[in-house]
Structure 1
Amino acid sequence: MGALRSIRTAVWGAPAATKAERKLIQKIDIFILTSCCLQYWVNYLDRANLNSAYVSGMKEDLDMVGNDLNVINTIFWCGYFVGQIPNNIAMQYVRPRYWMPFCILAWGLLTLGTGFVHSKQAIMGLRFVQALFEGSTFVGTHYLLGSWYKDPELGKRTGIFTSSGLAGTFFSGLLQGSIYSSLNGNSGLSGWRWMFVIDFLITIPIAVFVYIFFPDTPQTTKAFYLTEDEKKLAVTRLDTPATEHGHGTVDRTIFKRVLGSWEIYGLCFIWTMGSNCEMFSSNAILSLYLKWTKDYSVELVNYMPMAVSAVGIVCTIVLGWYSDFTRRSWHVGVLTSCTAIITGAIMLNPPNDVARMFALYLNGIQYSNQTVMFAWANRLIIDDAPKRSIVLAAMNTVAVMFYTFWSISFYAADQAPKWRRGSIAMMVSGSCMMLGVFVVRYLEAKTLRERARVRPVEGVVEGVDPVFSMEKGDSKGGVEAAVHDVK
């Protein structure tokens, strides 16, 4: 039993000190984490299906040429850019239990409509509006996870959440390959059209699930499965520093609190560079390359890129766990910066097809940036909910702003098979991210020391904020570990 407990602690973290808190965390994991993961899974499924459809007959059916696919994706990211911050602000006023299912239902209907278009212009319009609603999921969920989980619990859950999106991309390839084999031509619909129909049918029950079970935030929850004592514990257990800027306090000082802080600039920079490092994977470069060679069947063109998502899932979970266990998120940032530079260097002049494939599969590790960088941001701004909500949304909004031109400039479909400009851009992005990670790490340590001087708390060692300690059920040990990290 002792060995099993040690393994459980290493993998999932130390159990809560009381039976009541352990029971509460179980319920949070079952209902909140499941709701978030299902939502993000179907979000990515409905998003990734366009790339799968493109290599499965849509290109030919709609007479798409050159960089048409990249133009459509750019329009999608424009809508995503517009939608993120308004969606996060909306959840300060509208209960997430209502807002999130509404957005899921809306993008599900638009996904269905995409299956019946007859021009690429129609897809452009539908994808823009779809992105407005999909913008609620990623940054909104990071905000909500940060509202329910303690710092030592957050990285692992964030890793699982992010991996669920990658599972959507993984499943999209599997689904499209299977649909093409079994439904292509049924009822007069091409296989790629059936994919959008089936995705819609999968989306609706998930919207219903989220509506029934998502409990809003600890301060506003009315969840039927939480007792009154558990609702109070959900608030008090977080040990969030007492400030005037609690949940829902979006007042005239918010712009000063956000724009006057280093966090928004540093975090936006490192995540923008981090998302640029995903470009080989997020632009389906492997799928485009396989289609360009004309050496593979439609089924294999869909199945082979699934391994990129598999690499992303494994690395996201492992590196999210590492970040949680060590409290050193910046280590992961340095690692992914290095792998981005390596993949870019190989793709710039691959000696053979094996090296090219290796680089494209290796790039899947970049997906782990999502987990670690957003968990890091949640920890840094834990004491100001509206500011945290806006900064998290701004991080992805700025990154998406780059998506609107970065993809079409460096990773367009008509640049196959070398993507030379993209390889150079990958190396530059990795180098810039590494520099940004070191700067944010320095500012984080400086902020912790200043907070400890301004807001002394009993038992806190100089230079350490207890909010950021490596709490493992023993506050003394957590503080000592955090001191070591700061030093």
Structure 2
Amino acid sequence: MALDEKNVVLDTSRLEEIATPALIQAKPKKTWASYIWDTFDKSPEERRFLFKLDAAILTFASLGYFIKYLDQANISNAFVSGMKEDLSLFGNQLNYMTTAWTVGYVVGQIPSNMLLTRIRPSIWIPACEVIWTVLTMCLSKCNTATQIYVLRFFVGLAESAFYPGMQYVIGSWYRKDELAKRSCIFHTSSALGTMFSGYLMAAVYHLEGKGGLRGWQWLFIIDGVISLPVAIGGFFILPDVPEITKAWYLKPEEIEYSKQRMLLEGREQRRPYTKAKFAKIFKSWHIYLLSLLYIFFNNGAAGATPVFAQYLKDSKKPKYTVSQINVYPTGTNAVQVVSTLAYAWISDSVLNGARWPPIVFGGIMNIMCYVSLAIWSIPVGWKWACYYIMGTGFGLSGLCMAWAHEICGEDNEERALVVGSMNEMAYVLQAWLPLLIWQQVDAPNYQKGFITISAFGVLLIVTAFTIRYLWHKELLRKGRDSHFDAGESVGESVSGNKQAGGVLVKDE
């Protein structure tokens, strides 16, 4: 039976074991409304189910990522708002603070994601949020750079559970035509958190001297006050994954339905880790090339380095105020939000699930902006434009993760390990690369950084095309294997489709 919505045909030999009568009903034909939001042309039952799921997962994921970036980005805002002078940080201490956080973040990611295949995400992820929230508030009492290094390491260690963990949870509930939008909505929260940190610093700067604290100290305290309720709410909102969920807002039949949806998608449930499984994972190109893709994306931008803020701070004519230095760079994050959502809708709807075109576009925009900044002697108006337009390269994370969920969907443990590896390997590079290319003493003309990011843009594009080629070959091979195993071609009824496992998948 054809499911017109996704050009997917179910292998009827597996129908009885994976489908319920409600599930095997033909879905309505895809309409224009689905280009606005993918639930508009689904059945009322599925629409209600997805509404509950979105309300829980997307709310918690977005708020959690918002507070993560709020607590991650505040060090840069505090640094340019008085902390540098108060603590006599006139060397590369900001780089070391960023590196200390990154090292903690790197250490925790893969172990954390592997734990999520064994324990409940609704316990592990919120607990880590509470820990990093408390540690963030403790930063307000630091008197030396060394104290900040230590706390930032443990903040990074606690935060390492969140992003790859929530990407794993999202990939455990949503189908291909739903996945990129949710992943990208989740990712936009990072930009909103960074933006809000700038606005918050501009606001709390007026608390200067209140309670004997400087404005930058108040920033850490208020960040913690905002973060704590979100962290505690996660214990009650997060639904774990379908096979072990105890979510109070889902009916038993909806839980069963969620399992069937993932089986139809070819996304397997949890299985034990074995030597054979590890061997299979590490012999595949998946973990290596997907990790490379994320390395070039995640390090292919200025990242945590406040390049725009440093440019404004260094300006003599005109001289910008502390509020302006914190607020003006948030325009880059606004561009990130808009472009990220545009990528998601175009990928899911217009491109029928193809992930590589927006990734290539983001790489091209990075090359254009960072080559211009590397030249440096360019018109001031174009320089400002580059600082803002570079935000188009910040919003590719959700697409990279959605692509990984689809490529690794047949093995739950591989999916968890690959998602964790992608994020971890990206931050392994980020742990030391900024010390070389984003040195504080070079501000605001970070020529080494701008040249490096331009090269990463090229490598991002090359890696995306390589993954597309290998994934296409893998789908063809799976189609041939399935055909021979069945002894007959199940796919002849769908022109131009490739078969993968028990499902015929339209080629991207």
Q: Scaled by the length of structure 1, what TM-score is found?
A: 0.92
1:363 deviation in Å?
A: 1.0
162, 167, 170: which one pairs with 1:142?
167
CA distance in 2, matches of 1:7, 1:290: 45
Aligned to 2:498: 464
Matched residue SS, 2:79: helix
1:401 deviation in Å?
A: 0.8
Instruction: Check if 1:301 corresponds to 2:301.
Output: no
Instruction: Check if 1:314 corresponds to 2:338.
Output: yes
CA distance in 2, matches of 1:395, 1:17: 33
CA distance in 2, matches of 1:391, 1:40: 20
Matched residue SS, 1:238: helix
What's the CA shift string for 1:139-194, capped at 9, x where partnerless? Answer: 1111110000011100001110000111100110011101102x111001000000
CA distance in 1, matches of 2:160, 2:170: 16
What are the equivalent positions in structure 2 for 1:88-487 lying under 5 Å apart? 88-181=113-206, 183-240=207-264, 246-279=269-302, 281-294=303-316, 295-325=319-349, 326=351, 327-350=353-376, 351-456=378-483, 458-459=490-491, 464-465=498-499, 482-483=506-507, 485=508
What are the equivalent positions in structure 2 for 1:25-44 lying under 5 Å apart? 25-44=50-69
CA distance in 2, matches of 1:174, 1:458: 57
Amino acid aligned to 2:390: N
Inter-CA distance 242–352: structure 2 relative to 1 (3 Å threshold): closer
CA distance in 1, matches of 2:306, 2:242: 39
Q: Which runs of 5+ in 2 are unaligned?
A: 1-29, 484-488
Amino acid aligned to 2:473: K
Identity of aligned residues (%): 31
Instruction: Check if 1:83 corresponds to 2:105.
Output: no
Would you say how many aligned residue pairs link Structure 1 and Structure 2? 467
1:344 deviation in Å?
A: 1.6
Amino acid aligned to 1:331: P
CA distance in 2, matches of 1:79, 1:103: 13
CA distance in 2, matches of 1:397, 1:157: 21
1:14 deviation in Å?
A: 5.2
Contact 2:482 2:501 in 1 (8 A): no
CA distance in 1, matches of 2:468, 2:112: 29
1:114 deviation in Å?
A: 0.4
18, 24, 40: which one pairs with 2:49?
24
Inter-CA distance 202–127: structure 2 relative to 1 (3 Å threshold): same
Contact 1:240 1:467 in 2 (8 A): no
1:462 deviation in Å?
A: 6.5
What's the CA shift string for 1:349-385, capped at 9, x where partnerless? Answer: 1313222221111111111211111111111111111
Contact 1:151 1:468 in 2 (8 A): no
Matched residue SS, 1:148: coil
CA distance in 1, matches of 2:478, 2:490: 13
Higher gyration radius (CA): 2
Contact 1:159 1:321 in 2 (8 A): no
CA distance in 2, matches of 1:305, 1:74: 22
1:252 deviation in Å?
A: 2.2
Contact 1:176 1:302 in 2 (8 A): yes
Q: Scaled by the length of structure 2, what TM-score is found?
A: 0.88
What's the CA shift string for 1:394-424, capped at 9, x where partnerless? Answer: 0111110110111111112211121111111
Inter-CA distance 239–353: structure 2 relative to 1 (3 Å threshold): same
CA distance in 2, matches of 1:393, 1:163: 19
Matched residue SS, 2:190: helix
